[in-house]
């Protein structure tokens, strides 16, 4: 049994998809499971113990390179190599969790017996499927929509599990940040940033949440932030009434 999961981006959406990986591994313990992802979210899946293979699309990098004469040849070579990698295995199941045109085109290129996903996907992506199930309520949480596909394939999950591999390098980076910022004792990290305004919570609510956790649980609240985001976090800081908030820069 060869299974290919297609969920290209973004980081949060890939995290939402992890319960599907767990459920499929439980259902098909001896299967060879691969995941097709774009490079921005690939670090979440590198070395994942439940995955047998990671196929990375560098779509954005290739598009940028194709716009520069000096980089076109390299980009073309990499794209050809990627397509060969995508097609070198015949999959019993190709599972479309992304449901956009960019994923549909890759599913079209992939060699699969069953290409499974929701009917009437966005941007007409469902035309590349040969096994379509009725659309799931768009108002339901994304995790439930993804897991409905896993259930369709025979998985019987007893919960939602988000296995994220943490490398020794990750642990060292975090320890270094904590030492640099002199963070001791229990703490919690809050990331109030999202790409789309529709996904943002009001800054005042984040501030109230931070105050509550500091007051009730005696936690240090850490806002991990790159320097370019300092103005956003400064606005949040100005709304907080108490406590020590740490702006821990991303490790370089």
The pLDDT of residue 203 = 79
Which residue carries 């994220």 as its tokens?
164
Q: At what angle do helices 142-152 and 11-27 cross, to 10 degrees?
A: 30
User: Is residue 160 one of the residues assigned to a domain?
Assistant: no
Per the structure, how many domains does the chain have? 2
Residue 20 has φ and ψ, to the nearest 5°, of -65, -45
User: Is residue 157 one of the residues assigned to a domain?
Assistant: no
Residue 34 has φ and ψ, to the nearest 5°, of -115, 160
Q: Which domain holds residue 19?
A: 2-152
Same domain, 201 and 98: no
CB contact at 8 A, 72 and 92: no
The tens-digit pLDDT sequence of the chain (252 residues) is: 999 999 999 899 999 999 999 999 999 999 999 999 999 999 999 999 999 999 999 999 999 999 888 889 999 999 999 999 999 999 999 999 999 999 999 999 999 999 999 997 778 899 999 999 998 888 899 999 999 999 999 999 889 999 888 888 889 988 888 888 888 889 888 887 777 788 788 878 888 888 888 889 988 888 776 555 556 666 665 655 554 555 555 444
Classified as helix, coil or strand, 186 is coil
User: Is residue 38 one of the residues assigned to a domain?
Assistant: yes
Question: Peptide bond before 10: cis, by omega within 30 degrees of 0?
Answer: yes
Distance CA 149, CA 142 (A): 11
Q: Which helix (H) or strand (E) holds 169?
A: helix 168-180
């Amino acid at each position: 049994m060869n299974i290919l999961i297609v969920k290209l981006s973004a980081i949060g959406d890939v995290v939402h998809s992890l319960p599907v990986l767990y459920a499929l591994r439980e259902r098909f313990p001896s299967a060879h499971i691969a995941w097709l992802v774009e490079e921005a979210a690939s670090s979440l899946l590198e070395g994942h113990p439940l995955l047998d293979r990671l196929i990375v699309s560098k779509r954005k990098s290739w598009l940028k390179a194709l716009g520069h004469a000096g980089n076109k040849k390299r980009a073309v070579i990499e794209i050809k190599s990627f397509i060969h990698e995508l097609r070198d295995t015949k999959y019993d199941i190709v599972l479309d969790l992304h449901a956009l045109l960019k994923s549909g085109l890759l599913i079209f290129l992939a060699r699969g017996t069953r290409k499974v996903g929701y009917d009437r996907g966005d941007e007409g992506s469902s035309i590349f499927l040969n096994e379509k199930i009725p659309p799931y309520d768009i108002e339901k949480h994304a995790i439930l929509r993804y897991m409905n596909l896993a259930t369709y394939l025979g998985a019987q999950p007893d919960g939602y599990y988000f296995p994220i591999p943490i490398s020794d390098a990750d642990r060292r980076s975090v320890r270094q940040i904590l030492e640099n910022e002199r963070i001791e004792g229990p703490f919690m990290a809050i990331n109030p940033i999202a790409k789309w305004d529709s996904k943002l919570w009001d800054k005042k609510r984040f501030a109230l949440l931070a105050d509550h956790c500091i007051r009730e649980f005696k936690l240090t609240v850490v806002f991990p932030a790159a320097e370019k985001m300092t103005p956003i976090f400064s606005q949040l800081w100005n709304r907080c009434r108490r406590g020590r908030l740490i702006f821990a820069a991303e490790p370089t």
